Amino acid sequence: MGTVKQEASWSGGVGTEKQQRWKSLRLRGLRQRWIFNSIVPILALLVLIVALFSTGISNYYYGSMQKGLESRAQALANSFNEYFMDNGFANYYQKAVQSAESFEDKNKIELQFIGSSGRIQVSTSGLTAGTSPRTEDISKALQNQVAPYQGPDLETGETILAVSCPLVSNGRVVGIIRLVTSLRAVNRQVMIAVLAIFLIAMLCMALVVISNLLFINNVVEPVAEVTDAAKQITAGSYGYLIKNHYDDELGELVDNINNMSLKISQNEKMKRDFISSVSHELRTPLTAINGWGETILEDILEDTSDPGQLRRGLRIIVNESRRLSNMVEELLEFSKMEDGRFTLQIEDVDLQAELEDAIFTYQELFRQEGISLEYSPGDGDLPLISGDPERLKQVFCNVLDNASKHGGAGKRIAASIVQEGDEQVVRVRDYGPGIPEAELPFIKQKFYKGTSKARGSGIGLAVCDEIVNLHKGAFTIGNADGGGAVVTIRLPVRPR
């Protein structure tokens, strides 16, 4: 249905250079939002992990080294406090020199003996003897506290770790034993560990960025292309089809948009056909009414009127007026269906009586057209049903009129009503050419007329289907065995 445009390539189908630039800007904006919403949180998480790991590894290395120095310094201080501090300064000094000379780790750790003035008296490094370090661990040790220090050496500027323990004689701090080590090697180990975790984090970040860029290329750009195609459809290119290269949710979206485009194209074609058909249908009776009105008026004015011709003209005017009224009524009903004002006035209904009224209305009209209308009533009195009598009679009249238009060539129409279980079933069959099988799925669609040349707006059956559905019933159309079409209306005896 409708004119379907050829599937265009994306490069040619998107449009002008200005549209291409707009698409590029929009994609850039999509990428920025995607990166901000997905990559920035991951980057923040990786930075937090690197910071926590760096802090942890630093605390581990420096804490382990500090504990080791504190343990050794405390052991030396306890030994001196217990054995050498009460035997005079000379004995203390001699033991300090011996300890410095015999200290095993002098290549890694400097052993210092500091007097109460804060000046180094003995050291495994002769270069520092006589100097005053002036670090806070020394001042705390002079206050009889075991104190560590981590920071720059005030003499050399090198980063060191030191632990000072007081040497006590007669309850008074008379000196300090101090262990000092350089943090250069430890800092190198910490930097290597931090650099390793940083490189791992950068690798993870690179993988995240690459995966996100691939995702953007595979999802965001196709979505933008689908959006451009949807804009073309919105702009009026109904029937435009998008090439579907996808087999996932995006492919399903493309299929839905293509189906939407085709259906819009079909609806547009049916509306155009409807306007053309209604214009023709309105023009024909109006022309007949106008022509016969002028003829009758002229005959009356000239006093040459023929009673037979006058009756014939008036009959044509009445018939054409009735057809116009029916068409206007269908259009009004369709308008109510479209805006939701199509409602029912429910009451107890004698369905058989309503059908017989419609048959009585059309029986004489059909007889004048040479069509026999046969009616088979149900067995006995049928129970009342809940429904809108006016709407149901409208359905019966529309179905009978439709049977005469499309199946009148068979010169015979049969109507019946029966009770089948909890339903009352009305069937109206004509003996005309029937309905082409290809048209049966669309016969109840609005504006659809198919290949039929019969006059009408194409919305009567759609209105009938809506009325029956509102009654919780079923309205079906098919071909009957032996030729002709049959309309079946099923209505529940009790509301469902």
Specify the 3-state DSSP secondary structure of 471.
Answer: coil
The CA distance from 167 to 407, in Å, is 125
For residue 459, give both structure tokens. 């919305």
For 34, other C-beta atoms within 10 Å of its C-beta total 16
Give the pLDDT confidence score for residue 178 in this predicted structure: 93
Sort strands 385-387 and 347-349 into parallel, antiparallel or unpaired. antiparallel
More confident residue, 477 or 272: 477
The CA distance from 21 to 34, in Å, is 20
The CA distance from 49 to 284, in Å, is 84
pLDDT in tens, 254-276: 788 788 878 877 777 767 766 66
* Cα distances (Å, whole numbers) of residue 395 to 100, 365, 424: 118, 18, 15
pLDDT in tens, 294-350: 777 777 766 666 777 777 777 777 777 777 776 777 677 666 666 666 678 889 999
For residue 447, give every residue at least 6 positions away whose Cβ sits within 8 Å of its Cβ, in sequence order, or none: 267, 270, 271, 273, 274, 457, 458, 459
The CA distance from 425 to 474, in Å, is 10
Domains of the chain, with CATH numbers? 249-337 (1.10.287.130), 343-492 (3.30.565.10)
- Considering only the C-alpha atoms of the chain, give the largest distance between any 2 of them, rounded to a whole number of Å: 164
Nearest partner of 175 among 69, 93, 71, judged by Cα: 93
Give 367's pLDDT tier (boundaries 50, 70, 90).
confident
| Helix, strand, coil in percent for the chain, rounding step 5 | 60, 15, 25
Nearest partner of 216 among 43, 36, 41, judged by Cα: 36
Residue 431 and residue 412 in contact, taking contact as beta carbons nearer than 8 Å: yes
Give the pLDDT confidence score for residue 2 in this predicted structure: 40
More confident residue, 244 or 436: 436
* Cα distances (Å, whole numbers) of residue 336 to 24, 198, 343: 45, 70, 8
* Segment 143-148 mean pLDDT: 92
Give the pLDDT confidence score for residue 446 in this predicted structure: 67
Give the pLDDT confidence score for residue 338 in this predicted structure: 63
Residue 299 and residue 309 in contact, taking contact as beta carbons nearer than 8 Å: yes
Report the Cα–Cα distance between both ends of the chain, in Å, rounded: 37
Contacts within 8 Å (CB) and 24+ apart, 218-224: 219/250, 220/27, 220/30, 220/31, 220/34, 221/27, 222/246, 222/250, 223/250, 224/23, 224/26, 224/27, 224/30
66-75, 160-169, 235-244: segment of lowest average pLDDT: 235-244
Give the pLDDT confidence score for residue 67 in this predicted structure: 93
pLDDT in tens, 206-220: 888 888 777 777 766
Query: Quick check: 32 pLDDT over 50?
Result: yes
Beta strands in 194-278 (DSSP E): none
pLDDT in tens, 3-15: 434 343 333 444 4
**C-alpha torsion angle, residues 150, 153, 154, 158 (rounded to 10):** -130
The tokens 């059309």 sit on which residue? Answer: 362
